[in-house]
């Protein structure tokens, strides 16, 4: 009989549990936002890249083959694209754009 009472007591203790006090720790982080975001545009076979000084420009075709690799020197650069018509993936730093050459 005593074992059954202990089992019931233990079972109730496990189900109810011991009330605990928890406190949420919130931390506020300030994310630095760069107003000089990298922009990549194409107009009439001319690639225009801004705010990417010191970055590397990689251009890939849709098959994933790199067709162009250029280091960008200066905050505002233009490149003549001698690429056939098609869709290409342009990557500068962590910015990636899919653009069409017509």
Reported as a single tens digit per residue, the pLDDT across 19-65 is 656 565 655 565 554 557 999 999 988 999 999 999 999 999 999 99
Query: What's the whole-model pTM score?
Result: 0.64
Topology of the domain comprising 39-102: Immunoglobulin-like (2.60.40)
- Strands (DSSP E) along the chain, which ranges? 39-43, 46-50, 56-61, 66-71, 76-80, 86-92, 95-101
Q: Which of 33, 89, 84 is closest to 57 using CA atoms? A: 89
Bridge partners (DSSP) listed for residue 60? 66, 89
Q: Which of 66, 64, 57, 67 is closest to 91 using CA atoms? A: 57
Percent of the chain with pLDDT over 90: 60
């Amino acid at each position: 009989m005593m074992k059954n009472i202990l089992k019931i007591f233990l079972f109730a203790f496990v189900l109810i549990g011991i009330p605990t006090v928890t406190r949420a720790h919130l931390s506020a982080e300030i994310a630095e936002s760069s107003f000089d975001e990298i922009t990549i545009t194409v107009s009439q076979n001319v690639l225009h890249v801004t705010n990417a000084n010191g970055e590397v420009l990689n251009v890939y075709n849709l098959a994933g083959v790199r067709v162009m690799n250029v280091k960008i020197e200066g905050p505002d650069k233009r490149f003549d694209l001698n690429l056939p018509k098609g869709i290409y993936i342009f990557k500068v730093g962590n910015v990636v754009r899919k653009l069409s050459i017509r």
